[in-house]
Amino acid sequence: MTDLQRVAVIGGGVMGNGIAQLSAMKGHDVRLVDVSQERLDSALASIGTSLDRFVKSGKLDAGDRADVLDRLRTTTSVADAVSDVDLVVEAVLERLDVKQAVLAEVVAHAPVAAVLGTNTSQLSITAIASALGDEAHRVVGMHFFNPAVLMRLVELVVGLETSPETLARAEAYAASLGKETVVCRKDSPGFLTSRFSAILRMEALHMLEEGLATPEDIDKAVKLAFNHPMGPLELGDFNGLDTYLDALTGLHAAHGERFRPPVELKNMVAAGRLGRKSGRGFYDHSGS
Ligand SMILES: CC(=O)CC(=O)SCCNC(=O)CCNC(=O)[C@H](O)C(C)(C)COP(=O)(O)OP(=O)(O)OC[C@H]1O[C@@H](n2cnc3c(N)ncnc32)[C@H](O)[C@@H]1OP(=O)(O)O
Ligand SMILES: NC(=O)C1=CN([C@@H]2O[C@H](COP(=O)(O)OP(=O)(O)OC[C@H]3O[C@@H](n4cnc5c(N)ncnc54)[C@H](O)[C@@H]3O)[C@@H](O)[C@H]2O)C=CC1
């Protein structure tokens, strides 16, 4: 059982819209916040498409679709969104200073009992929480996976100040979404999962730079040899190459040379080839 009924998700991008949708599908009252109304409009469009897929495959009653949308409202005001919530899930871009500023604004307007989850891919939970002084015990890493509506895991990450009560409430919320959890009990950048995925994608990029094979064959090798649903380059396009570069930059700073971002990736991000969200990455997505 979770007492976290009212949820605010901050950031309506790839992850935020999925976390908001899933929460509303599981009966939570959800407020989705973004600085950009345009991003909120496209988040609602993505959520509508995803709900249609669930209806089409028989996993959601057509009659329940409208109820899910009724439980979800969007706003550009953090103060308005968090005033009565039990939980905030921060899913803005992967920058420490931005996450700290967003959570500081949340703390100024949210009830004192609200749990503060961050969906960071790899940043230190302790560093994010350090901006909140005595409220740091309320912060916990809640790392979802893309697409959040389908992936089975939420990785929970305990910062130095995270209280046992905060962790227990985060676990109950993840269970209410039907997710399995793993707990990374020591706050270390990249936790468990992002260190694994970064290494695989780094190797794929190095193979590409070395001219060993086409992107298609590098992905095919991983998919068919190891039964992964997507290859590492395909997954990079799916998640967003800018987000991936931000994550590698953080892992490089924390763990050293083995995570140095490849030049190929930096060039692609500089050129605006961000993957699916910009229409082009390792692959052409202009038609999808
Ligand atoms: C960066 C980080 O910090 C952390 C991360 O997120 S790392 C990335 C983690 N994510 C992954 O590794 C994803 C790997 N890929 C996959 O698991 C799968 O490719 C996938 C689940 C995304 C899609 O599955 P697929 O079999 O390849 O494609 P597809 O046939 O389109 O979809 C399968 C089913 O899911 C449904 N589906 C797919 N995406 C959906 C969505 N967003 N909403 C609703 N339904 C969806 C489809 O409608 C389809 O349903 P039916 O079987 O009933 O027809
Ligand atoms: N893309 C992925 O596969 C995954 C990403 N993550 C993490 O989730 C977080 C979000 O990533 P994505 O959704 O991919 O990014 P994204 O770039 O798709 O979305 C980020 C959103 O945050 C909004 N935003 C920026 N500053 C804001 C602010 N101050 N207040 C409110 N909204 C603000 C932006 O307008 C944008 O819509 C990052 O920390 C990322 O590392 C975690 C798991 C998987």
Running along the chain, 288 residues long, what does each successive block of 10 average in pLDDT? 93 97 98 97 98 97 96 98 98 96 98 98 96 97 98 98 98 98 96 95 94 98 98 96 92 94 95 96 91
Verify whether ligand 1 is closer than 6 Å to residue 151 (CB atom): yes
In this predicted structure, what is the pLDDT of residue 288? Answer: 74
Q: How far is the CA of 133 from the centre of ligand 1 (A)?
A: 39
Q: Half-sphere exposure (CA, 13 Å, Cβ side) for 132?
A: 30
Q: Which of 15, 21, 31, 184 for mutating ligand 2's site (highest number of atoms within 8 Å of CB)?
A: 15
Whose alpha carbon is nearest atom 3 of ligand 2? 239
pTM metric for this prediction: 0.95
In this predicted structure, what is the pLDDT of residue 224? Answer: 98
Verify whether ligand 1 is closer than 6 Å to residue 54 (CB atom): yes
56-105 pLDDT, tens digit each: 999 999 999 999 999 999 999 999 999 999 999 999 999 999 999 999 99
108, 68 Cβ separation under 8 angstroms: no
Return the ligand 2 atom nearest residue 12 CA: 37
87, 115 Cβ separation under 8 angstroms: yes
